[in-house]
Structures are given as C-alpha cells and as structure tokens.
Amino acid sequence: MGRSPCCEKAHTNKGAWTKEEDERLIAYIRAHGEGCWRSLPKAAGLLRCGKSCRLRWINYLRPDLKRGNFTKDEDELIIKLHSLLGNKWSLIAGRLPGRTDNEIKNYWNTHIRRKLLNRGIDPVTHRSINEPAQEVASSTISFTDTNMKVKVEEGKDLETEERCPDLNLELRISPPYQLNPEEIGAKSLCFACSLGLQNSKDCSCKIGCNFGTSTENSSSVGYDFLGMKNGILDYRSLEMK
DNA sequence: AATGCAGGCAACCGCCCGAAC
DNA sequence: TGTTCGGGCGGTTGCCTGCAT
C-alpha cells in the first residue's frame, strides 16, 4: 500500500522560485507562522508543493539565516563535526547558527572535500590517504543499552565507562547553550564558547572553561571537541532542546 | 565573440520516522 | 496493530555563472 504523493504534481510549479512567490511565502509565514506545510501553498496562493515551500523557507528565506562566505572557524568546525558525526548535516547545522543543513552539505561537497583531498586527507575517514588500512584509534558510542556506554578504543587499550542513560539527542535550531552573563562577567566569548562548546580544546577565551569546573583542575581535565571529557561525551553540549 | 567546461548552489526526489487515528 | 499522513533528512540533479580557450 503506497503512500499518496505529498501534493498534486500536475498543478504545481517546479524549479527556481520567482520573487513574487518568495514574497507570498514570506508574507504568509509572517502572518500565520510556520504551520502545516501541506496546506500552506493553497492558503498562501502558491502553486507549489508543501515540501518545496518548506525547503525554500528553511534554506533561503528564513530571516535568521547568515548567508555569505563561511569563516575559517566555521570551516574547521564543520570538519571536526563531520569527523565525529559523518554526513549528519542537520546535526552539524545545529551547531552552526544561521547555517542550514543544505548549505553545509553543499559547502562540504564543493569546498571542504577538495580542501581535505589537497591536504592528503580522506574526507570520509578523515585519515591520511597514504595511511595504510589498519585498526586505529576510534570512538564508538553505543546507544543500545539503557545505560549509555562509551567505548574509547586507543589501539589495543579499551575502556568502557557507564554514563548517563538519558542522552538527549533531540535537536532543534536555537541559540546554543550559553553561560549566564553574570557568571562570565563582561568579557566576550571566543568562537568555540559562543557555539556552546565550552571546555573545548578550541577555546581561546578560557571563560567558558572556567565555568563548572571549580571543583576540578580545568587545566588537567582533558575536554575534547564537542565536550568529550577524557573521551567521554558531555551530552549537555549536544543537547539543543 | 563564441564555445566548452567546471564549479557552485538551489531545488527536487525518495526514503524514513513518529504521531495520529 | 496496521495504515496514513506530515515533516525531516541525505543524496542527487540540473541550471546558472564565470573562466579558459
């Protein structure tokens, strides 16, 4: 029993959006908000598929989109996130405010892929192309158990640690986890901290890194990218709800 | 100036998942 | 429990533009 098509394709426009269509969509969403995409085209007077409207809004018309060239910091962040998450563009986009999954995906395929290849790095495995195939250090996160186990394999060494069972990977686009301004004073956060990556090795301001670690020596605690503390995922930095 | 080619990117397609019934 | 529907995601396509010849 197949699914019915999401819209009646015979009477829908396809291809590039016109300025008038954009204006209609923007005006409708401003007036009514994002609601049922299926019924939106008819209500807005658009001869478009609901999916097409959603995509156009999310990837191009949304007012909070950044547009423009990616910064070097964003470049590096995308590479690191990709090495951890793979082609999970929506997850990666969730860590880059104002960027969409489609934009990042395109940017990866056109710019970063080539950049990594030029550096002699396999864009899929993030390892040197010349590196012989072998069992190398890898991180495996298992979500199958009630108690989440994080296994960190370092060559032949294997550590398994019980971690918090209720890892929340439900994501949404929103400002990243921020520190209370009163707690950080008037100082500004570095790029990593502004993205919610406090305690990251990439932190250059050290403001976020001093937060929440008063009982432990922050300089000796090896926080990794994405809040991997000594190889253990700090799920708070991933939580976006 | 005309043509061919490659790169960039917007948009589409098909599949998956969760909610509702 | 099975079916339908809406929304979301990743992969792919195809148009547009700029550059080289």
Task: Collapse the DSSP code of A191 into the 3-class scheme (helix H, G, I; strand E, B; otherwise coil) and give the result.
Answer: helix
The Cα–Cα gap between A238 and A84 comes to 12
Domain that holds residue A81: 72-128
A7-16, A47-56, A70-79, A227-236: segment of lowest average pLDDT: A227-236
Is residue A238 in a domain? no
Which CATH number do you get for residue A44? 1.10.10
A76 and A57 part of one domain: no
Q: Is A186 exposed, middle or buried (0-12, 13-18, 19+ CB in 10 A)?
A: exposed
Say what the pLDDT of residue A6 is. Answer: 53
Q: Which amino acid is at A150?
A: V
Say what the pLDDT of residue A203 is. Answer: 53
A57 and A88 part of one domain: no
Which one of A9, A40, A61 terminates a domain?
A: A61
Is any atom of strand C within 7 angstroms of residue A113's beta carbon?
no
A79 and A114 part of one domain: yes
Is residue A229 in a domain? no
How many domains are contained in chain A?
2
Is any atom of strand C within 7 angstroms of residue A174's beta carbon?
no
Which CATH number do you get for residue A82? 1.10.10.60
pLDDT tens-digit series, residues A103-122: 888 888 888 888 887 778 87
- CB under 7 Å from any atom of strand B: which residues? A 3, 9, 13-17, 48-49, 51-52, 55-56, 59-60, 102-103, 105-107, 109-111, 114
Residue A17: DSSP 8-state = P
Is residue A77 in a domain? yes
% of chain A at pLDDT higher than 70: 49
CA A209 to C1' C6 (Å) is: 42
Q: Between the CA of residue A113 and those of A75, A99, A100, A108, A119, what are the distances in Å?
A: 11, 18, 18, 6, 10
